[in-house]
Structure formats: structure tokens, C-alpha cells
A and B are shown apart, each in its own frame.
Chain A
């Protein structure tokens, strides 16, 4: 009952005019950003972070805006998947497989509406999961000492390369790169400087916001500069017929079991640190295919269940990913990694104490997610035609805006040109890594978690006077080690199977980038 009382208070926080408007603004911007190919939820949030600071928003208001963008982008990603066969963001990749065939068959509107409903179902129930699971996880979190934290971070890195990545070696390389970048700065455990080369700007290490904005937003601009002119081909296709925009009841009923299964799967993969929404949508789609269409007769040819499953899956995962981020301070996906950075910048320490110290922030945020969900449902079904028009904004107008926001934003946070240079360097790095097909999310996770992982290991060692066995001496640590090892080893066996499927997926619908 406590949970409901807190939730009620949360609604009191979220239901102010300012916060409602921010949620609406966030949902709208998020859906647009999700719809734009390349601009995914992580980039969307990263781009809008500076705005939140420039407006001088309070912590809770900033969070409501940015999580609305996050949820909105998860909804919006499907639009370009269905209409253009180009995923608006990484998790929406699976939606292409049946969404585009539906659109080609003149059922674009139906596919959009159905996926809107599926997104709502996934996100709505995942938010309930967040309500009940997060406080529970907090109690577990008090069992975490430095040793257990170290194992938890190890787990995050071990499962990261897992199923979602196409090449485990590349994502391991990316994670190592991120951890390396995290080592820059004054070491808190000894006060010694590392990799600072006497440059005073590097003493505090590299701000993750600079890395994130550089790696995601600026590299996007660089990719655009490189492909100038060659990306316009999608324009005409966007003008295709939308068709009816309300799903028929029979189709909804037909897809309900798929949505339920996918919501559960998506939520679980979201909760696991490092797995995230891409995994959620992939698992949801492939499991649904196994269950409903084992002989590959309709999936891939415009089966509505093939649209509903991945959308419910990736939206449920986005809610699930908030659980470990809020309760443990460990992000469950790339976007929550960005949100974690936002919390830290707002001087809010996520983790077990968050519910104790900032209940208004947490419950206000959760209430805002519920409200945002209904707004998004409303925005996405009747107004879907409007968002399809966003796809017509020429990239040569969009990209300069992205670059401008990135520069102004970072300068307004740090007030120094050194950081701008760093950001451009990260942008160049991001561009090179994209060319090499190295995933960027593990880098962010490395920068965000590398320090904590190291520091907790060293805290554990200091406290135990250097006894390594302290890392294995609680049942919690042993469970975490087991999950970490299984999470690392299993994909190596499953990997071939999954990779084959991913290949099939790619052959069926060629993806840009």
C-alpha cells in the first residue's frame, strides 16, 4: 500500500502545468527524434540535455522532460521502420521486418496504429513493473558492499557483448576503450593523477556528457557530411499512402497474446544491466516467430504480430531499463546510461538511497511516465500523419541544428573551449568507429561504469586488507558471478544461431548504416 501512497504523491508532483507541458513537449520531440533515421533515443536525450540546463529546469522537471523524450523516441522509432524500411533507432530494427511489407501492401496506417498500441501496452505494463520491482530491488541493493558492486559491474560488461551485438570482439574492444577513457583524471583512492599530462582540464576526467554528445550527435553530423546528397532517396517513399489509422478490433485481438509475451520478455531484458531495448525487441520478435509461426509462413511478409511483438518488446525494455538505473545506479541500456549521466549532473545520486533521499524525484518521474504513455498513445494514433511528415525535413537543415545544439549545450555546461575541442574529437572518434562497425554504446558504458567498477574493487581490497576472497564470500556475489559467467558464455553457443537470424533479417530488409 505504501507503493500506492508514494505513487499518489508522485502524481501530485507530476500533475503541475509546467511538468505536464514538459512531458507533452518531451513526448512530441521524442517521437520526432525517434522517427528520424539515425537519431535514436540515446542521441535524442543527449541532444536535449543542454536544453534542460539552459532552461534552468529543476531536477524533477528536467528528468520528466528527458524521460518523456526517451519514451517518445522508443515510440517514434517504428515510424520510419514501417514507412521507409529504415529503422528510426536501433531497437526499431526488428519492426522493419513485417512493418514495411505491411506498408507495401497498403496497410501502413494499420501497421502504425497497431505498433502504437503495442508500444503503449509494452511501456504501460513495464512502468507498472517499475513501480513494484524498483522498491524491491532497493532492499536487495542494501546487501551490496563494494565487493558485490564490483561483481555487478563485471556482470554488466560480461552480458553487454552478448546477444544484441553482432560481433562480440568489437563490443569488448569498445568497452575496453570506454574503461580506458574512464581512467583519465585524478584517482580518488590515492589522489594520484592518471593520463592527465599536466593538463588541468583533464584532472576531473572526461565528462560523460562530452563523450556522449560527441560520439552520438556529432558523429551523426559527420556521417551526414560524408554521405551528402545520397540520403535523399527516402523522400518519395514517405509520401506513400498511409491508409486507415485505426486498427481493427480483430487485429488487436489477434495480436494480444504476442504483445503479452513480448512485454514480459522485453521487461526482463531491460532490467538486465547492459542488455537493453535492442535485445528486448530482438528476443520478442524471434520468440514470437518461434511460437506463432514456426514454419516461417507469414512472418517477414507483413504479419501484424511481427509488428506488435518487437514494439511491445522494445518499449517494455525501455521501462525495464529504468529499474536498475534508478534503484542501483546501473543503467540497463545506452539511453539509461545517458539518463544516469543527467541524474549525476543534477547532483542526484541514483542507487539504493535515491528512493530514500529523493522520493519526490523518483515517484514524480514514475507518475510522469504513466502520463507520458497516455499522451504518446494519443499523439501516435490520430496524429501519426503529422509525424510522417517529419521524415520530409531535409537532413541538410536538420544536421546543422544538431551541431548547433551540441556546441551551445556543451559550452553552456562547461564554459570552456577545451571541452568543445574534446567533443569534436569524440565526434571524429565516433565517426571512425562507426565506419569500423564498432558499437558506441559499450564505450559510453565503459566511461560511465569503468571508474565505479575499478573504485569498488579497490574499496573492497582496502577494506579486506587485500584478500581476494572477499569478492566471493557472500551468496549474492556468487549468484552475480554465476549470471555474469552464463551471460558471457551462453551467447558464444547461442551466438551462431542468433547471428544467422540477424543475417537473414538483414538480407530481407537492407538497413542503412
Chain B
């Protein structure tokens, strides 16, 4: 008995030693996959991590489960600095990101950090921008709003759920710039803590227009409290959303997508990078993920690997330019 046990132990030990080598020789798989949500539980980034972790586990794209860690602070800046400074060469780690991440990088709100310090993995969908008014408003379409803004910017207050210089503000400015309005700083944007609050002030008559994301506006459109002037999508959306005109249809070539996605550490190995990009790609195509998107009002935006990297670089430089124009960045 004792002999066999010893022998068994020896074999197990030998296996334990050789196993890691065997794995790395074949293909990368993370030992302890981890997703950092750079905000407290309950927000958009937390949603991104938790939903992706759940679907990846259910579709067996990950062995076991992915740990979700909330690392809040600095609008994502704390997590960004942590990854760049302390966990720069980890292969098992991904971090939730969104347009807000790109916006803050562009505006220098992550001190000392730039977008090329991490590796951009891919998107998991997007929430397209919406510009709307009260149902009884005299403004009929997006060009109508723009010409009213050009004539007398003091008479129109636009509210949204992000801070000044944040994404809801920038969408209006990008549209205004496209419409040829020169004095962007004269446009009155009023920041609220969330889209719902902004819409209730639109209803109360304090605001004349609203800028936000489709997912948060949808409920108010259904209840008849909000009329959509334009969706900032490249083309008409599907299903219930198809009734909304795009900005491009109305002669203003503006696309505003609040994307959700991930980045990984800057020194992540190429094998690991390819593995994560591949897994995200496979997950995106799955039925399970389609259901999540539908449930949460996420529209199609499927960018992975290099394509995504380019996309982020482009949007960072766009946002930087417009932020400089309104004086948010020197």
C-alpha cells in the first residue's frame, strides 16, 4: 500500500511540474482570468465586466470563472494608472472601458497616461447617441435645432447625463461643428447626474433639448415624453429603433457611439492578446451575447484587435480637437 501511494505521489508531482510547460507550449490560456471594473458596483463598467464574465463562463470560453474586481476612482484613472504602473506585463487581466475612457484620455484627465500605454482588445457593443426634444416642441428636426442654436444660443439649454465636456456634451458640439456653428462655447449645456434627471427637467420645462444615449432615452420615448430628433448612428437601427432618423439622413454627418469594450496591459504577450481578442470575437457572435445586447439596448459595434486600436486612436484625437476648441484642454 505504502509503495503504491508513494509511486502515485511521484507521478502526480511529475505531472504537476510538466503540466505548465505543456500548456504554454501549445497555446495561451489564462490561469486566473480577472476583469477590472474601474468603478463601483452597479455602473456601466461593472455591467461590462460582469456580463462578459457570465457569458464567457456559460459559453465555456473561459475555464472556471473570471474574477471581477471593482477598482473605482478618478473616473477610471485609478485603474488605468494601476495597470500601467503595477500590472503592465500581466496576461490574465482585462479592464472594462468605454467612450468615457477615451474622452478622459483625450482631455488629459488621467494624469501622465496616454492611450498607447495599454493594448486595446475590442468592443462588445455600443449605445448610440440621441438628441431629442419635448413632444410639443416647435423644433422639428436636427437642422432645425442647429439653426435655432446659431440664431440665439442663449434661448436654448441642452441637458444631458454627463459632466460638462463629457460625452453627452461632446455629441451636441460635434453636431454643431458639423452644422457650421462657429462659437461652440456659446452653446449652453447643463450637466445632470443622469439621463433620467435631464429628461425630467426637459418635461418640467427647464430645458429645450436633451442629449443622451438611446438605451436611457428609450423608456421616455415609449411613454411619449420625448421626441427623437436624430440618432447618431451610421445608418438606421433595427427593430423598434428603425423609426428614428439618423443625423446623416438630415445632412449632418455625425456618428456618436458610446462604445463599451476592454483594454489589456501594455506588455501583454502577443499570444495572450490574440487569445483575448479571439475570445471576445467569439463571444460577440454568440446567441447568448445577442440576448444580453437586446435586453440592455446595446447596438451593433463589432471592432476587434488592430481595427479597434485605430478606432480608439481616431476618437481620442477627435475629442481632443473639440475639447481644445471649447477650452477644456489647453
Question: Is this pair of chains taken from one and the same complex?
Answer: yes
User: Which residues of A approach B to under 8 Å, CB–CB?
Assistant: 53, 142-146, 186-191, 198, 200-204, 207, 345-347, 349, 351-353, 357, 413-416, 418-419, 455, 459, 462-463, 465
> Bound complex: CA of A346 vs CA of B42, how far in Å?
6
When C-beta atoms are compared, the residue in chain B nearest to A147 turns out to be: B206
Does A463 contact B207, Cβ atoms closer than 8 Å?
yes
Does B190 contact A201, Cβ atoms closer than 8 Å?
no
Does B71 contact A189, Cβ atoms closer than 8 Å?
no
Task: Give the chain A neighbours of B78 by CB distance below 8 A.
Answer: 200-201, 416
> Bound complex: CA of A144 vs CA of B219, how far in Å?
21
Decide if B55 is an interface residue (CB 8 Å cutoff). no
Does B328 contact A191, Cβ atoms closer than 8 Å?
yes
Contact pick for B74, options A204, A455, A462, CB 8 Å: A204
When C-beta atoms are compared, the residue in chain A nearest to B159 turns out to be: A459
When C-beta atoms are compared, the residue in chain B nearest to A352 turns out to be: B200
Contact pick for B42, options A146, A347, A351, A414, CB 8 Å: A347
Does A200 contact B70, Cβ atoms closer than 8 Å?
no
> Bound complex: CA of A143 vs CA of B201, how far in Å?
9
Does A142 contact B41, Cβ atoms closer than 8 Å?
no
Least distance between B72 CB and chain A CB atoms (Å): 5
Task: Give the chain B neighbours of A190 by CB distance below 8 A.
Answer: 164-165
Task: Give the chain B neighbours of A353 by CB distance below 8 A.
Answer: 196-197, 200
Task: Give the chain A neighbours of B188 by CB distance below 8 A.
Answer: 462-463
Does A144 contact B204, Cβ atoms closer than 8 Å?
yes
> Bound complex: CA of A265 vs CA of B63, how far in Å?
61
Least distance between A360 CB and chain B CB atoms (Å): 15
When C-beta atoms are compared, the residue in chain A nearest to B207 turns out to be: A463
Does B71 contact A416, Cβ atoms closer than 8 Å?
yes
Least distance between A468 CB and chain B CB atoms (Å): 16
Does A463 contact B190, Cβ atoms closer than 8 Å?
yes
Least distance between B174 CB and chain A CB atoms (Å): 16
Does B165 contact A191, Cβ atoms closer than 8 Å?
yes
Least distance between B57 CB and chain A CB atoms (Å): 16
Does A146 contact B41, Cβ atoms closer than 8 Å?
no
Stretch among B107-115, B175-183, B282-290 lining the A interface: B107-115
When C-beta atoms are compared, the residue in chain A nearest to B208 turns out to be: A463
Contact pick for B203, options A142, A415, A463, CB 8 Å: A142
Task: Give the chain A neighbours of B224 by CB distance below 8 A.
Answer: none
Q: With A203-B75, A204-B72 known to touch, is A145 a contact of B201 (CB < 8 Å)?
A: yes
Least distance between A332 CB and chain B CB atoms (Å): 20
Task: Give the chain B neighbours of A419 by CB distance below 8 A.
Answer: 73
Decide if B69 is an interface residue (CB 8 Å cutoff). yes
When C-beta atoms are compared, the residue in chain B nearest to A56 turns out to be: B41
> Bound complex: CA of A53 vs CA of B78, how far in Å?
21
Q: Mark B42-80, 1 if CB is under 8 A from A, else 0.
A: 110000000000000000000000000111111101100
Does A414 contact B72, Cβ atoms closer than 8 Å?
yes
Does A200 contact B73, Cβ atoms closer than 8 Å?
yes
Task: Give the chain A neighbours of B193 by CB distance below 8 A.
Answer: 188, 349
Does B166 contact A191, Cβ atoms closer than 8 Å?
yes
> Bound complex: CA of A190 vs CA of B328, how far in Å?
8
Decide if B239 is an interface residue (CB 8 Å cutoff). no
Least distance between B328 CB and chain A CB atoms (Å): 6
Task: Give the chain B neighbours of A188 by CB distance below 8 A.
Answer: 163-164, 191, 193
Does B197 contact A191, Cβ atoms closer than 8 Å?
no
Task: Give the chain A neighbours of B205 by CB distance below 8 A.
Answer: 145
> Bound complex: CA of A416 vs CA of B69, how far in Å?
11
Decide if B139 is an interface residue (CB 8 Å cutoff). no
Least distance between B190 CB and chain A CB atoms (Å): 5
Task: Give the chain B neighbours of A186 by CB distance below 8 A.
Answer: 75, 109, 163
Does A415 contact B164, Cβ atoms closer than 8 Å?
no
Task: Give the chain B neighbours of A204 by CB distance below 8 A.
Answer: 72-75
Task: Give the chain A neighbours of B191 by CB distance below 8 A.
Answer: 188-189, 455, 459
Contact pick for A349, options B74, B166, B194, B206, CB 8 Å: B194
Nearest 8 A/B pairs, CB to CB: A191-B165, A200-B74, A203-B74, A188-B163, A347-B42, A145-B206, A200-B77, A188-B191
- Beyond contacts A203-B73, A357-B196: 13 other A-B pairs, Cβ-Cβ < 8 A, are A145-B204, A187-B163, A189-B191, A203-B74, A203-B75, A345-B41, A345-B42, A413-B70, A416-B72, A459-B191, A459-B206, A463-B206, A463-B207
Pick from A142, A146, A186, A191 the residue with the most CB of B within 10 Å: A191
Q: With A188-B191, A462-B190 known to touch, is A413 a contact of B41 (CB < 8 Å)?
A: yes
Does B157 contact A462, Cβ atoms closer than 8 Å?
yes
Decide if B81 is an interface residue (CB 8 Å cutoff). yes
Q: With A200-B77, A414-B40 known to touch, is A146 a contact of B201 (CB < 8 Å)?
A: yes
> Bound complex: CA of A146 vs CA of B159, how far in Å?
12
Does B190 contact A418, Cβ atoms closer than 8 Å?
no
Decide if B324 is an interface residue (CB 8 Å cutoff). no
When C-beta atoms are compared, the residue in chain B nearest to A186 turns out to be: B163
Least distance between A181 CB and chain B CB atoms (Å): 16
> Bound complex: CA of A345 vs CA of B190, how far in Å?
23
Task: Give the chain A neighbours of B70 by CB distance below 8 A.
Answer: 413-415
Least distance between B172 CB and chain A CB atoms (Å): 14
> Bound complex: CA of A462 vs CA of B153, how far in Å?
12
Least distance between B152 CB and chain A CB atoms (Å): 11
Task: Give the chain B neighbours of A416 by CB distance below 8 A.
Answer: 71-73, 78
Contact pick for A191, options B111, B163, B196, CB 8 Å: B163
Least distance between B134 CB and chain A CB atoms (Å): 13
When C-beta atoms are compared, the residue in chain A nearest to B191 turns out to be: A188
Task: Give the chain A neighbours of B109 by CB distance below 8 A.
Answer: 186, 203
When C-beta atoms are compared, the residue in chain A nearest to B326 turns out to be: A191
Does B73 contact A418, Cβ atoms closer than 8 Å?
yes
Task: Give the chain A neighbours of B71 by CB distance below 8 A.
Answer: 414-416
Does B41 contact A53, Cβ atoms closer than 8 Å?
yes
Contact pick for A357, options B41, B204, B219, CB 8 Å: B219
> Bound complex: CA of A340 vs CA of B73, how far in Å?
20
Task: Give the chain B neighbours of A351 by CB distance below 8 A.
Answer: 197, 200
Please list 14 pairs of residues, one from A and one from B, whose beta carbons are closer than 8 Å in the complex, sorted by A's number. Answer: A142-B200, A145-B204, A187-B163, A200-B77, A204-B72, A204-B73, A204-B75, A349-B194, A349-B197, A351-B197, A357-B196, A414-B73, A415-B71, A418-B73
Q: With A186-B75, A203-B75 known to touch, is A191 a contact of B107 (CB < 8 Å)?
A: yes
Least distance between B170 CB and chain A CB atoms (Å): 11
Pick from A143, A187, A189, A207 the residue with the most CB of B within 10 Å: A189
Does B40 contact A345, Cβ atoms closer than 8 Å?
yes
> Bound complex: CA of A347 vs CA of B193, how far in Å?
11
Least distance between B257 CB and chain A CB atoms (Å): 21
> Bound complex: CA of A310 vs CA of B13, how far in Å?
71
